[in-house]
């Protein structure tokens, strides 16, 4: 082998029998017993897995490995899935880390297969036709690829590798874009959770205040009922006492007359007839029928609109999103581009939601600010609603020069970039 290496530039591999280019150091520079070295490498990796130590993916170097490919080494869940979609990886065998055994030989990468020509199965495919973009053998050159551009596989690979790498540039750009999108999703999810917590706290505060208000109103209404009842009972009690007193006088008079008739002689009764009749007439003469009419009625009721109140409570509050669509909102007016220092400038904003419908929200949902480019002046605009989804904004610049006009609805700018407004001195 040493003598042959001195005469030629390559040697047949003792494992796969393919011609292998010699390194700069010649035959002594070739790695020896690489199959044994592979056994040692896999054994070390297997020890790491068995010790529950974290093993990183050999492909992406970013995620924790969950499987082992005999060709690619340790792979993560994402790289495992790529084996399902790439044709040249479908034949790779994936083993879950949980099912790995101590048999190191089962994990050693298989030897690279010798590629043979698709048209001449007995011939090795050592050439690459750049015209047809396929591997060919020497017989193909004579027959079907005579006038084509072709070269040896190593030389063609050096040229075609750049094409492959360049084809990945859009992939890398899309990966970067999707990474930012994933980060945006995580950030937005965190914002939604934070917002949910704040909204729930606000709901609980509002409902607690509503309950306190209802309880206070209940106490007030119960107090009114008790006070009204006490007043009525006091009046009726006083009237009842008067009736009892009058009734006592009449009964005393009645008892005296009856007792006199029973115990006195006729002469005695006739002697006291005049004063007795006079006393009876005095007691009964001042009595009138309307005097027994009760001064109070049992007419207390609870006046309410329970159905409306319940409906109001059922419809109290609303959790809503802000469906404003900045891309569909429009701003117009001279005050967008040009302004005069010290004069009130006007801008009109027409707001729409994502469905293109009029966006109806309170005036305080829209904010406008004019900021000088050098930061020397910041002017807050005044917002008024003209009708439905049309807002009128007015501002008065204080300094001349370039300004940035920021118009936001629900803290969303109606334009991707702020409006550039130049402020002049009044002529």
Supply the DSSP string of 107-135, one letter for each residue: GSPPPPPPPB-SSSTTSB--EEETTTTEE
Residue after which a domain boundary falls, among 270, 285, 300: 285
Assess whether 159 and 236 both reside in one domain.
no
Measure Cα distances from 374 to 71, 119, 247, 379, 402 in Å. Answer: 61, 73, 99, 13, 8
Which pLDDT band, with edges at 50, 70 and 90, does 41 fall under? Answer: low
List, for residues 187-234, the tens digit of each pLDDT value. 989 988 998 999 999 999 999 999 999 999 999 999 999 999 999 999
Can you tell me the distance from the alpha carbon of 68 to that of 222, in angstroms, rounded to the nearest whole number? 77
Assess whether 183 and 141 both reside in one domain.
no
H/E stretch holding 73 reads strand 73-75
Assess whether 203 and 256 both reside in one domain.
yes
The whole-number average pLDDT for the span 21-40 is 60
Residue pair 325/352 in contact (Cβ under 8 Å)? The answer is: yes
Can you tell me the distance from the alpha carbon of 55 to that of 199, in angstroms, rounded to the nearest whole number? 43
Q: What is the pLDDT of residue 104?
A: 47
Which pLDDT band, with edges at 50, 70 and 90, does 1 fall under? Answer: very low
23, part of any domain: no
Q: What is the pLDDT of residue 13?
A: 64
Domain count, the chain: 3
Assess whether 275 and 178 both reside in one domain.
yes
151, part of any domain: yes
Q: What is the pLDDT of residue 7?
A: 43
401, part of any domain: yes
Assess whether 261 and 343 both reside in one domain.
no
Assess whether 242 and 280 both reside in one domain.
yes
Q: What is the pLDDT of residue 20?
A: 66
Which pLDDT band, with edges at 50, 70 and 90, does 291 fall under? Answer: confident
Assess whether 145 and 178 both reside in one domain.
no
List, for residues 125-158, the tens digit of each pLDDT value. 889 998 998 999 999 988 888 889 988 988 888 8
Which pLDDT band, with edges at 50, 70 and 90, does 2 fall under? Answer: very low
Residue 16: alpha-carbon gap to chain centroid: 57
Place of tokens 């990468």: 109
List, for residues 321-354, the tens digit of each pLDDT value. 766 777 788 888 888 888 888 889 999 998 887 7
Q: What is the pLDDT of residue 287?
A: 77
Tokens of 43: 């054994």
Rg (CA), the chain: 51
The whole-number average pLDDT for the span 60-84 is 79
196, part of any domain: yes
Residue after which a domain boundary falls, among 167, 191, 225: 167
Residue 166: alpha-carbon gap to chain centroid: 38
Assess whether 201 and 157 both reside in one domain.
no
Assess whether 193 and 221 both reside in one domain.
yes
Can you tell me the distance from the alpha carbon of 85 to that of 79, in angstroms, rounded to the nearest whole number? 10
29, part of any domain: no
Residue pair 161/148 in contact (Cβ under 8 Å)? The answer is: no
Higher per-residue pLDDT: 50 or 420: 420
Listed range (4-8, 358-362, 372-376) with the worst mean pLDDT: 4-8
Q: What is the pLDDT of residue 38?
A: 57
What is the 3-state composition of the chain as percent helix, strand, coil, each rounded to the nearest 5?
45, 20, 35
Q: What is the pLDDT of residue 270?
A: 86
Look up the CATH number of the domain holding residue 404.
Answer: 2.60.40.10
Q: What is the pLDDT of residue 36?
A: 53
Compute the C-alpha angle 100/106/108, nearest 5°.
110
Residue pair 312/305 in contact (Cβ under 8 Å)? The answer is: no
Antiparallel, parallel or unpaired: β 73-75 and 67-69: antiparallel
Listed range (75-84, 299-308, 395-404) with the worst mean pLDDT: 75-84
Can you tell me the distance from the alpha carbon of 266 to that of 43, in angstroms, rounded to the nearest whole number? 145
Higher per-residue pLDDT: 276 or 97: 276
Assess whether 257 and 178 both reside in one domain.
yes
Assess whether 151 and 229 both reside in one domain.
no
Look up the CATH number of the domain holding residue 161.
Answer: 3.30.160
Q: What is the pLDDT of residue 15?
A: 54
3-state secondary structure of 251: helix
26, part of any domain: no
Boundaries of domain holding 139: 127-167
54, part of any domain: no
Phi, psi of 108 (to 5 degrees): -70, 130
Residue 128: burial class (beta carbons within 10 Å; 0-12, 13-18, 19+): buried
Higher per-residue pLDDT: 100 or 259: 259
Listed range (14-23, 284-293, 330-339, 365-374) with the worst mean pLDDT: 14-23
Number of continuous H segments (helices) and E segments (strands) in the chain? 9, 18
Which pLDDT band, with edges at 50, 70 and 90, does 109 fall under? Answer: low
Can you tell me the distance from the alpha carbon of 63 to that of 174, in angstroms, rounded to the nearest whole number? 20
Q: Which of 64, 87, 60 is nearest to 72 (CA)?
A: 60
Q: What is the pLDDT of residue 32?
A: 56
Which pLDDT band, with edges at 50, 70 and 90, does 51 fall under? Answer: low
Residue after which a domain boundary falls, among 285, 307, 339: 285
% of the chain residues with pLDDT over 90: 19
Mean pLDDT for all residues in the chain: 81
Measure Cα distances from 211 to 216, 217, 314, 412 in Å. Answer: 8, 10, 13, 35
131, part of any domain: yes
């Amino acid at each position: 082998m040493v003598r042959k290496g001195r005469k030629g530039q390559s040697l047949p591999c003792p494992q796969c029998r393919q011609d292998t280019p010699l390194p700069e150091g010649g035959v002594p520079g070739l790695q020896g017993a690489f199959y044994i070295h592979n056994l040692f490498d896999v054994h070390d990796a297997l020890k790491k897995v068995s010790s529950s130590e974290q093993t990183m993916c050999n492909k992406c170097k970013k995620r924790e490995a969950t499987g082992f490919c005999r060709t690619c080494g340790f792979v993560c869940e994402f790289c495992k899935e790529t084996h399902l979609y790439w044709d040249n990886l479908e034949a790779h065998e994936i083993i879950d880390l949980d099912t790995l055994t101590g048999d190191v030989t089962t994990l050693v990468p298989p030897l690279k297969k010798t590629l043979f020509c698709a048209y001449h199965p007995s011939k090795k495919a050592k050439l690459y036709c750049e015209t047809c973009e396929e591997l060919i053998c020497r017989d193909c050159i004579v027959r079907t690829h005579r006038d084509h551009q072709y070269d040896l596989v190593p030389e063609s690979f050096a040229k075609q590798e750049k094409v492959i790498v360049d084809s990945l540039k859009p992939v890398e750009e899309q990966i970067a874009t999707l990474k930012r999108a994933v980060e945006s999703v995580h950030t937005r999810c965190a914002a939604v959770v934070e917002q949910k917590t704040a909204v729930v706290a606000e709901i609980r505060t509002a409902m607690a205040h509503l309950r306190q208000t209802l309880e206070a109103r209940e106490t007030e209404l119960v107090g009114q009922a008790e006070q009204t009842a006490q007043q009525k009972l006091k009046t009726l009690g006083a009237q009842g006492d008067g009736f009892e007193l009058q009734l006592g006088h009449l009964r005393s008079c009645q008892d005296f007359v009856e007792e006199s008739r029973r115990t006195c002689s006729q002469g005695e009764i006739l002697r006291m007839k005049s004063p007795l009749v006079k006393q009876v007439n005095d007691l009964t003469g001042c009595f009138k029928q309307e005097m027994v009419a009760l001064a109070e009625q049992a007419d207390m009721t609870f006046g309410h609109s329970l159905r409306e109140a319940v409906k109001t409570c059922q419809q109290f509050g609303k959790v809503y999103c802000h469906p404003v669509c900045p891309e569909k909102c429009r701003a117009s007016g001279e005050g967008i581009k040009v302004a005069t220092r010290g004069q009130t400038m006007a801008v009109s904003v027409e707001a729409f939601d994502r469905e293109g419908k009029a966006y109806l929200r309170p005036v305080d949902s829209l904010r406008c600010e004019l900021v000088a480019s050098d930061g020397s002046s910041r002017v807050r605009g005044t917002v008024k609603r003209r009708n439905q989804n049309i807002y009128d904004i007015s501002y008065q610049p204080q300094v001349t020069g370039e300004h940035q006009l920021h118009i936001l609805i629900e803290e969303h700018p109606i334009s991707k970039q702020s409006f550039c407004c130049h402020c002049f001195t009044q002529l």
